[in-house]
Amino acid sequence: MKEERMATILGMVDEKYIEEAAPVPQKKIVAGRKMRKEQMNGLKRACRVAAIILAAGISVYALRTFVGPDTIVAPGTEQMTEYTATGQEEMPGTEAIKETSTTEQRDSHGQGQASENDNTPTHSSEQETTANVTTESDELPTEVSEQEEPQYHEDGREMLSAELHSGDMGFEGLMFYNIFESGSLNPWTREAEVKVLPVFRNLSYDGGPGYAIWLTEAELLLKAEQTAVKLGVEIEAYEYQYPSQYARDIIVEDRERVYAIRALTELGEIRVEGNGSIRIRFEEAITLPKEYHFTWHGTTEEEANEVMHYLLQQYEGLHGFQQPVVGSWGDYSFQGVQKREYEAFEGNGSLEEQILNYNFASLKCSPDSEGKLKYIWLGNKLESAEKIGDYPIISWEDAQSLLLNGDYITTVPVEYLEDGTVKEGNIAKVELIYRSGSYDKVYMPYYRFFVELTGRTYGAHFKIAEGLESYGVFYVPAVSGEYLTDFPVWGGEFN
């Protein structure tokens, strides 16, 4: 019965929201706190044998049969209980490998986070859509790629790149009936006087595929255990996850490092990522008192704030916020169905500290289709980052001037803009945010502009519910251009 229940937990698929989905890893599932070295050595030997078999023309099916099933083991036991995955089953937080393009996924605060690596060009009039097909015959890199030597400003600060990574399909856009529905949780405002902000190096960046690899196996296990204690449950089994042998362009030394651990408990699953992010998924969603309205669609902002205050009290041990700031926002589907997000962060401290807490250490809760608590996300990505330095920040007015001058970064096709340019009258909102996805080499601040899409091409391509307005997202680096290797300095003149 115990094995059947754990198999049931493993077979669950996210019903509504999958955060930071990564390519399906090659799984190893072992008991207790220490991965057995003989399993790693066995896998390496199997890979060498596989290369010989492939060279001889033996089918992939025969190779998979030779490798055998995955196993799952409860901590503290020596007898291994096998669990065989059937078909292309998707684990919570992962996706089955598919020979298709993948769309952008939202990470914290609605940022478009690509699920395939690609460099977003600065203001390109053409947006290409290509399918990335990974086959078993693709060659993996055999050496660690050499990193470029950093360049330095005359004042000693390291020069930065403003490049962003996006997916191969779709663009970053949001739909609202009113731009105020985009939320007001961000502690930064236009009136804020921010002159300097820190920039961080993302230590969990893996070279491209999107695995967050930094925390050690022991650190990941400790976080899972601490979270379980705070929830009042015991961990019944661990699953260690490693980058797949099919991942391209990954740093060689990272291929056999753990990038995530899933801990199975009687409540459900605790998943810890290599960058410190934690996701709790309840096997049976938690019912809230009747006075609380907790849904994806149809909940007001006031009701959402009441729900978050209640949940923060119920799970106080998970976050430890002294002065929690709560809020929510939600964009809409083409049919006019809202997807509301519920968030909170620590509001204690200086404005800079609040900005960092909001962008890197917020807590999010999500309901299921019946208004019950299904997910909790928490963690602090700065645990897997190192500070590069403090950098001068331009004003939002200067950033808007750069935007109007055509100096911006976006995935929005130019034909969706009226006359192919951003006009001041179409700028609906600006906010200061940090990009903090697993594809971002550097965590640096950007001004994010919401621009109304009024081009004829956009309206012709999509049928949108009456009253909905569509907004494209445009980024301008907040760091002064003199510290950027690939972005202009605003000189007060237009092209």
pLDDT band at 323 (very low <50, low <70, confident <90, very high): very high
Does residue 97 fall inside a structural domain? no
Q: What is the mean pLDDT of residues 279-306?
A: 96
Residue with tokens 């395939």: 116
Question: Same domain, yes or no, for 286 and 374?
Answer: yes
Question: Same domain, yes or no, for 373 and 403?
Answer: no
Q: 209: how many CB neighbours lie within 10 A of its CB?
A: 23
Domain endpoint, select from 379, 406, 436: 379
Question: Same domain, yes or no, for 371 and 407?
Answer: no
CA distance 434 to 474: 13
CA distance 329 to 250: 35
CA distance 440 to 433: 13
Rounded CA Rg of the chain: 23
Instruction: With residue 176 as reference, give the H or E element that holds it.
Output: strand 173-176
Question: Same domain, yes or no, for 285 and 375?
Answer: yes
CA distance 272 to 204: 13
257 within 8 A of 242, measured Cβ to Cβ: yes
Inter-residue long-range contacts of 385-389, CB under 8 Å, 24+ positions, other chains counted:
385/200, 385/201, 385/202, 385/203, 385/204, 385/443, 386/200, 386/201, 386/203, 387/198, 387/199, 387/200, 387/201, 388/158, 388/160, 388/198, 388/199, 388/200, 388/201, 388/442, 389/157, 389/158, 389/198, 389/199
Question: Same domain, yes or no, for 160 and 74?
Answer: no
Question: Is pLDDT of 30 > 50?
Answer: no
Cβ neighbours of residue 78 closer than 8 Å, sequence gap 6 or more: 31
| The pLDDT value given to residue 257 | 80
pTM over 0.75: no
Q: Residues 335-371, buried b or exposed e (16+ Cβ, 10 A)? A: eeebbbbbbbbbbeeeeeebbbbbbbbbbbbbbbeeb
Question: Which range has the worst mean pLDDT, 125-134, 188-197, 247-256, 284-293?
Answer: 125-134
431 within 8 A of 446, measured Cβ to Cβ: no
Question: Same domain, yes or no, for 83 and 169?
Answer: no
| The pLDDT value given to residue 75 | 53
Q: Which two tokens stand for residue 174?
A: 């949001």
Q: Which domain holds residue 340?
A: 281-379
Burial degree of 427 (CB within 10 A; 0-12, 13-18, 19+) = middle
Does residue 417 fall inside a structural domain? yes
* Number of domains composing the chain: 3
For residue range 72-120, what is the model confidence (pLDDT) as tens digits? 445 544 333 333 233 333 333 333 323 333 333 455 565 544 333 333 3
305 within 8 A of 261, measured Cβ to Cβ: no
**260 three-class SS:** strand
CA distance 341 to 328: 5
CA distance 277 to 274: 7
Q: Which two tokens stand for residue 96?
A: 């089955």
For residue range 39-73, what is the model confidence (pLDDT) as tens digits? 444 444 555 545 544 444 433 333 333 333 333 44
pLDDT band at 160 (very low <50, low <70, confident <90, very high): very high
Does residue 492 fall inside a structural domain? no
Does residue 302 fall inside a structural domain? yes
| The pLDDT value given to residue 85 | 31
Question: Same domain, yes or no, for 242 and 306?
Answer: no
Question: Same domain, yes or no, for 325 and 240?
Answer: no
Does residue 209 fall inside a structural domain? no
Mean of the per-residue pLDDT values of the chain:
75
Q: At what angle do helices 37-55 and 60-67 cross, to 10 degrees?
A: 160
Does residue 248 fall inside a structural domain? yes
CA 3 from centroid of its chain's CA atoms? 31
Question: Is pLDDT of 230 > 70?
Answer: yes
Closest CA to 208 of 388, 42, 441, 412: 441
Greater confidence (133 vs 46) lies with 46
| The pLDDT value given to residue 170 | 76
Question: Is pLDDT of 411 > 70?
Answer: yes
Does residue 288 fall inside a structural domain? yes
Q: What percent of the chain has pLDDT over 70?
A: 64
Closest CA to 294 of 378, 233, 367, 349: 367
Question: Same domain, yes or no, for 371 and 286?
Answer: yes
Question: Is pLDDT of 178 > 80?
Answer: yes
217 within 8 A of 40, measured Cβ to Cβ: no
Question: Same domain, yes or no, for 301 and 256?
Answer: no
| The pLDDT value given to residue 18 | 38
For residue range 116-128, what is the model confidence (pLDDT) as tens digits? 333 333 443 333 3
Question: Same domain, yes or no, for 81 and 19?
Answer: yes
Give the CA angle between residues 213, 214, 218 to the nearest 5°.
Answer: 110
Q: What is the mean pLDDT of residues 381-397?
A: 97
pLDDT band at 130 (very low <50, low <70, confident <90, very high): very low
Question: Which range has the worst mean pLDDT, 103-117, 148-162, 199-213, 268-282?
Answer: 103-117
Does residue 138 fall inside a structural domain? no
Question: Which range has the worst mean pLDDT, 60-69, 174-183, 342-351, 471-480?
Answer: 60-69
Greater confidence (490 vs 254) lies with 254
Question: Same domain, yes or no, for 78 and 160?
Answer: no
Residue type at position 455? G
